[in-house]
Amino acid sequence: MLQQVRAVLEAQGEGELYCIRKPIILHHHSPLSTSHNSCSYPPTREKGIQIFWNWCFFSCRHRATFEQVCSGVLGFILLFLLHSASGVDNLNKITKFLQDKYGGNNQYALGINVPHRYCDQDATLDQNFLPDDNDAQKVKDAMADDDKIYKGVQLIGARPKPIGKSQNNYHSEYLLLIKSMSRRLRRFDPLMKTLLDSKTDDCTVFFTLNSPCVKTCSTPNGQYSIIPALRMLFQNHNGPKAFVFNRVWDHDVDNPEWENNIKTINAIIPVYRCDEGQCIRCVNNNNVDKRCLQNQSHG
């Protein structure tokens, strides 16, 4: 991994890479300040990547280069932590917790923004996990009322909302990512942005029971597409992040358009399918795992 980080740094071509033994840490939650001509990385307990005890710093000649390098490399490391073995295991624990506590058999979507230790360490989901949103019945009741939305402190949730007297619905993803369609909540729109803005470097997971449908949600240029919202919300989020679905929407099984749309979403936020006690990364080296296109057992 050190070679990967070094390559990213040296590719900038605007300074020299050197190491010092005394750790002067620019924490990932601190603003990137021009008063520092150095760049450092957060420590980790993850086995195999404890390589930063001799902290590596990058001396930059230009402010723009420094900010670009530091934020880019740090984002790479945070994503690496989430996609590591313990990170994926924790993602599985988180999504199972959300489904068991707040979910059901019919479509719903949830968004959380929690301390990143729950994503990059082998952390227990203790009483400090979603402490202000612990009343499952309150969450379910809010998602069943007229607005079909729960807005909490570290958790938001929605179920599809009927559009007037028509047979169509505002999809749950749309209500959380774009517009709540609620007079009571509209000042917080988009609800996911309000949630992310509360802690900009925390770990965020957006979970939807069914994969976002090709017809409405996941096609980039569709009228109700969530793609522009995902790009606006997540592309520059500093903390670990994941977009998770539990099962493929029945109408999109083995749909080539869904395969393309997964790649589009994954370019913004890593896409996982979490079910049957495990999470799998849907896109690797621009190839979509077939288990993210079908509803058969992982096997």
pLDDT tens for 233-269 read: 998 898 999 999 999 999 999 999 999 999 999 999 9
Whether 52 maps to a domain, the answer reads no
Cβ-contact 83, 46 below 8 angstroms: no
Whether 54 maps to a domain, the answer reads no
**Domain of 114, in residue numbers:** 90-292
Q: What is the mean pLDDT of residues 223-227?
A: 95
Tokens 């309000």, located at residue:
194
Per-residue pLDDT band at 178 (split at 50, 70, 90): very high
Whether 158 maps to a domain, the answer reads yes
Output Rg (C-alpha) for the chain, integer angstroms: 20
Predicted local confidence at residue 116, as pLDDT:
86
Whether 62 maps to a domain, the answer reads no
Whether 84 maps to a domain, the answer reads no
Q: Length of the chain in residues, anyone?
A: 299
Phi, psi of 101 (to 5 degrees): -90, -40
- d(C-alpha 145, C-alpha 200), whole Å: 30
Whether 43 maps to a domain, the answer reads no
Q: What is the mean pLDDT of residues 142-171?
A: 97
User: pLDDT > 70: what percent of the chain?
Assistant: 70
Whether 103 maps to a domain, the answer reads yes
Number of domains in the chain: 1
Predicted local confidence at residue 294, as pLDDT:
96
Whether 29 maps to a domain, the answer reads no
Which pTM does this prediction carry?
Answer: 0.75
